[in-house]
Each structure stands twice: as C-alpha cells, then as structure tokens.
Amino acid sequence: MRIVLSSLLIISLLGAESIDESMSGFDDTPITKPKSHSTSSSHPLGGNKNKSSSGDDIMAGFDDETPPPVSHSNSKSKNKKNILGDFTGKITEQIAYSYSDDAPHDNISSAKTSLLLDYEHKFDNGFKVKTNAKAYYDAIYDIRGKEKYSNDELDELKEEVELYDAYIEGNIADNIDIKLGRQVVVWGRSDTIRVTDVLNPLDNRRPGMVDIEDLRLPVAMAKLDYFIDNWRITPMAILEHRFSKNPPFGGAFNPSSRTLPSDKEYSDVTPALSIGAEFSGWDINFYASQLHDDTGYFDNVKIAHNKVDMFGSAINILKGSWLLKSELAHFDGLKYSTLPNQKFKRTDALLGVEYNGIADTLISYDIAMRNIHDYDQKLAKETLPKEERAYQHAFRVSSDFANATIKANYLISLFGSSGDQGGFQRAWVKYDISDGIYANIGLVDYMGGSNRFDTVANNDMVFTDITYSF
C-alpha cells in the first residue's frame, strides 16, 4: 500500500500543466456591459484563453489569439446549408522520442494520430450549439508489440474516442445569458499554476507535454451570466463530477507495482458562484464553490473524493507593460485518509507578473504557496501531503518571429521554496507552415530533487508534431 500511496502522490504531483498540486505547465470572462456581453469564457481584462471575447481592449499585448467571428446569414437557404456545413476539425501526427528512459518506453515512445471534430451553429434567435469529439490512436503499441505493455497502459493510452464540449448557449434577456451542457469554465488568471481554477479536471496522463489550456476536461454544468453595469454575476450548478485522468499503471509516469483503484462515482449536484467586475486597468473576481476534491484518498477498493467548500478571489492590475496578478483560495473539508473526523483546511496563494514591453515577447513568473492548517505529522507517513507547506514556481517566455509565423516558447516549473525539489522544463517552437498547417518541435526535461520526482527524472524526450486544420 505504501508503494501505491507513493505512486498516487507522484501522479497527483505530475498532474499537468500546472501540474496542479504537481508539475505545473504540464475565466472568468471579462465583464462587459449588457449591450456587448458575450457568453464565451475568457480571461479577465480582455485576455482570452479559449473563446473569442468582446471585452474592452485594455489588455492589448496580453490577449491570446482569438478566431474571427463566424458570419451567419438570415437567409433560409443559407441557414439550411450551414446546419450541415459548420464542421471544422484538425488532424495531428506526433512522434515522441525518449532518449534516456528504460524499455519499453525508450527510443520512439509514441507515434500518435489524433483527430478533433467540432460542430458549431448559431441560429436566427441568437442561440448557439457547439459540440466536439476527440479520438486518437497510438501505433507504437502495435509496432512494438502489445505484450510488452501493461493492460492498464494499453487501455488508457493506445486509443480513445471521447465527447468533449457539448452545450447550448444564448441570451434569454438583454443582460442574461445561459449556457447548459459540458463546458470548460476557467477561474483565475495564471496560465500555468492552478489556484482558483478548480472546476474542471485535467488529463494528466502524459504530463509536461502541452499547456494547461489543452488539458482541461469539460464538465456538465448549468451556467447563468447576469450583467449589471461593470459587474457579472454567474451562478452555476455542477451536474457532473469527473476527476483528473492520471498516468496508468505500468506507464512511463506511474512507477507503482500495482494497479491504482478507480474513482468513486458521485451523482449529486453542487453549486458554484463567480462575481466579478472589470474597470479601467484592473479587474477583480470572487469565487465560491462546493466540489469533490480532485486528488482524493484511498477508501477500501476505491479512491474517495470528499466534498469540500472553496472560497477564493483573484485581482489583476495593468500598469503600462506590466500585468500584476494574484489569486487566493481557501479549502475546508479536505480528507487525506479514512481516519474518522480527520478533515483539514488548506489555503493556496499565488503572486505573478507578466511583462510585454519587448516587441512580440511575453515574459511571466508565478509563485504559489499551499499551506495545510493544523498539520498532522501522521500525514507525512500515511497519506499524500508530505509537508505542511509546499511551493511552486513557474517561469515562461514566448516570442514571435518572422511576422508571427514562428513562435518560440520556454517554460520551467520547479517545486520547493528555493526550487530544489524537482520539476520540469520544456522548450518548443511552433511554425505556421501555411494556412491551416503548423508544426511543433520541442524538448521536455524532467528534473529530480525529491523522491517524488526522482522516479520520473529519466523520462526526458524530444517531440515533433504536424497539424492540419480544416
């Protein structure tokens, strides 16, 4: 059991991009006035991670790229055509080469083909329906021979087909929007470390390979946005409880000698609330939710996820070329073991800064601290949290070249107050070959420094992929 517990710790700490409570790296939408509000989820201060936004452009230089709006005609004949023609998608071929890992995960460790199909349609009444599905097949398992891999790894990583976003949204009044279905709701501002961003689990099965925006798993929710002046009030009902997908037993990132238990299933409906406002040069958000803790603990043959209360806030201040950001989250009711009446409180805090004063370049640094209140030393021996206070650092640089056809990126995420407890670094370059075709090439270096990261320190790899969008 000690080995299994250690394995779950490593998995949770390799949790992805953030990696949330693990290896980081791997919206509240800007509040707009009723006449120009959007139902899309995006960054505060006009920055947008996932969807297009109509927020004020006070964040020029910090905004992510957003797709142009889709034009829809009121013509009946054209609408009929659009209902069948609003499909888009992309095909990706990726090769990963692990140059220092052990067999069978050495050399070419992945040869994956991925397909994303997306359907989006806006009706005459302004409502929009969106759904997408992802599928992948990794040929390396057939090329090398399935007998070399564990059944758990084959089940999780060889092939998969899954429905992702599936929702309908629209305006039910001049200042009220509704969105119902599987969706991603991003709280907070950090692009790397998750503090208030707690509503969606992550796909952690291949940690460190991609950024967090590509790792969030949609959850079924009912969401209402009410706009009043500069404020937006967003009550939500969480209708589905999903938990992060972790590296499978026998895989390169799971050193456990036995299969991990499955998660308990929950069917209750839990509430969440976001209240935020955007002003000239700054924004503020307040959050509250009741949710099942994503990490969980062992309870007989399952991983149980105790229900916890979360309260948080985020504030962002823009000063010239500098964006200052902070997040705070408090959790009450955390359980790390089956010991009766042993529940804990934890407070997480983040401070960060972004600088875009250099042409076509963005530099950011975030630091987070997670503190367990009334820490019990038994936790260090029996369950997952090995220390009362944990620290995480994330530094990233991205820069555009050749008229933005080449984008170079670097990210390093380290743990410990002085960054000496392990982590990872990733460098990659994205090249737009032509319209709809782009390629990535990069390197991921996993670093030891503690027992939990030493076991994956040899998983370093280089990767390359090419994507065709249609």
The CATH number covering residue 30 comes to: 2.40.160.10
The answer to whether residues 271 and 235 touch, using CB atoms and an 8 Å cutoff, is yes
In a domain, 129, yes or no: yes
Which residues pair with residue 116 across a beta bridge? 90, 134
311: burial class by Cβ within 10 Å (0-12, 13-18, 19+)?
middle
- Tokens 């009912």 -> residue: 222
Average pLDDT for runs of 10 along the chain of length 470: 47 46 43 42 42 41 42 41 72 96 94 97 94 97 95 95 96 96 96 95 92 93 97 98 94 84 95 97 98 92 95 97 98 87 93 97 98 81 73 97 96 95 96 96 94 89 97
Count of domains in the chain?
A: 1
The answer to whether residues 24 and 197 touch, using CB atoms and an 8 Å cutoff, is no
Q: Which helix (H) or strand (E) holds 151?
A: helix 151-153
Provide the pLDDT for residue 18: 41
CA distance 82 to 153: 41
- Tokens 């040899």 -> residue: 458
Provide the pLDDT for residue 384: 63
Provide the pLDDT for residue 71: 40
CA distance 228 to 239: 26
In a domain, 73, yes or no: no
In a domain, 80, yes or no: no
Q: Measuring CA to CA, which residue among 463, 431, 409 is closest to residue 93? A: 463
Expressed as residue numbers, the domain containing 127 is 2-64+88-469
pTM value is: 0.82
297-299 sheet: strands from edge to edge? 262-263, 302-304, 297-299
Please, what is the Cα angle at 417 between 447 and 189, to 5 degrees?
Answer: 85
The answer to whether residues 157 and 205 touch, using CB atoms and an 8 Å cutoff, is yes
Residue 426, amino acid: R
160: which residues sit within 8 A by CB, 6+ positions away? 134, 135, 136
In a domain, 75, yes or no: no
Task: Name the pairing type of β-strands 423-434 and 406-415.
Answer: antiparallel
CA distance 78 to 191: 39
In a domain, 71, yes or no: no
Task: Name the pairing type of β-strands 262-263 and 302-304.
Answer: parallel
Provide the pLDDT for residue 386: 67
In a domain, 208, yes or no: yes
Q: Measuring CA to CA, which residue among 467, 115, 191 is closest to residue 350? A: 191
CA distance 205 to 16: 8
Residue 283, amino acid: D
In a domain, 76, yes or no: no
In a domain, 116, yes or no: yes
Tokens of residue 308, six digits: 């916890």
DSSP code of residue 220: E
